[in-house]
Amino acid sequence: MHRTKVRVVEDALDANNTIARANRDDFDRHGVGVVNLMSAPGAGKTTLLERALDGLPGDVRAGVLEGDVAGSFDADRLSLLHIPVAQLNTGNGFGGECHLDANMVRTALPSLPLADLDLLVIENVGNLVCPAEFRVGEDARIMVCSVTEGEDKPLKYPLMFRACELVLINKIDLLPHLDADVDRLLANLDAVNPGVARMLVSARTGEGVDAFREWLTAVPARVGAAA
Ligand code: MG
Ligand code: ZN
């Protein structure tokens, strides 16, 4: 019984990876660098994007795919940047799943003008567990961890912190009001993903966001160089 269950999970992940490769091919064909942005709910993904995507160099045309169980609150906010934004609701035909998978992303691709984009940010559903298990065809994975979440989170959700190339430590403007220990948070991060790139940022004040914007700006060139 146990073996069968494991087998089913492996088959599902194989199927996901096959579709992720199809997405990847589409992104490559259109020369789009793709980032999968993950975090717990409320860590500040959307506010960070509002800050970082505003002021991108003109030769980096960005678009966003917003993943949420329901509603278009974040897509509506990002539309104010006058960039292509598509909303993907997992509650609309995908069982209200708490993550995005490659197939969901694939169904949303026709609503994005890939030929006119250099950078696509996929904002995943807020969740520290299963988004890390599903590749969607991205080039890089970023996770946002805010200082209000507690220093122990890398140790409690190691897969998420291991599955990313960049960790944004957000809400550092709140540090004077918290007992949070950022050094311990970073030590715990290094315990599960030694030396992973990290940036201390405040989406609210904009501190550190320039460095994040530069990192995003470099994604399409990195992909182009690899192709
Ligand atoms: Mg959001
Ligand atoms: Zn899930």
Q: Is the dihedral of CA 59, 104, 19, 4 positive or negative?
A: positive
| Ligand whose nearest atom lies closest to the CA of 40 | 1
Query: What separation in Å is there between the alpha carbon of 205 and the centre of ligand 2?
Result: 31
- Given this model, what pLDDT does residue 226 score? 45
Q: Give Rg (Cα) of the chain.
A: 17
| Ligand whose nearest atom lies closest to the CA of 129 | 2
Query: What separation in Å is there between the alpha carbon of 79 and the centre of ligand 1?
Result: 13
| Ligand whose nearest atom lies closest to the CA of 98 | 2
Q: Is the dihedral of CA 98, 103, 106, 111 positive or negative?
A: negative
Contacts of 116 (CB under 8 A, 6+ apart): 61, 63, 84
Domain topology for 2-222: Rossmann fold (3.40.50)
Q: For residues 131 and 16, what is the distance between their CA atoms, to the nearest angstrom?
A: 12
CB 53 within 8 A of CB 75: no
Q: How many helices (DSSP H) and strands (DSSP E) are in the chain?
A: 8, 7
Which amino acid is residue 54, in one-letter code?
D
Query: What separation in Å is there between the alpha carbon of 128 and the centre of ligand 2?
Result: 9
106: left (phi over 0), alpha (psi -120 to 50) or beta: alpha
- Given this model, what pLDDT does residue 11 score? 81
Query: What separation in Å is there between the alpha carbon of 215 and the centre of ligand 1?
Result: 20
Query: What separation in Å is there between the alpha carbon of 45 and the centre of ligand 1?
Result: 5
176 CB neighbour count, 10 Å cutoff? 6
| Ligand whose nearest atom lies closest to the CA of 96 | 2
β-strands 166-170, 62-68 pairing: unpaired
Side-chain-side CA neighbours of 92 within 13 Å: the count stands at: 11
Query: What separation in Å is there between the alpha carbon of 227 and the centre of ligand 2?
Result: 31
Query: What separation in Å is there between the alpha carbon of 167 and the centre of ligand 1?
Result: 16
| Ligand whose nearest atom lies closest to the CA of 37 | 1
**SS3 for 90?**
coil
**SS3 for 82?**
coil
| Ligand whose nearest atom lies closest to the CA of 134 | 2
**Backbone torsions φ then ψ of 96, nearest 5 degrees:** 65, 30
Query: What separation in Å is there between the alpha carbon of 220 and the centre of ligand 1?
Result: 23
- Given this model, what pLDDT does residue 225 score? 47
Tens-digit pLDDT string for the chain (227 aa): 566 777 887 887 889 999 999 999 999 999 999 999 999 999 999 999 999 999 999 999 999 999 999 999 999 999 999 999 999 999 999 999 999 999 999 999 999 999 999 999 999 999 999 999 999 999 999 999 999 999 999 999 999 999 999 999 999 999 999 999 999 999 999 999 999 999 999 999 999 999 999 999 999 988 764 44
| Ligand whose nearest atom lies closest to the CA of 90 | 2
What is the pTM assigned to this prediction? Answer: 0.93
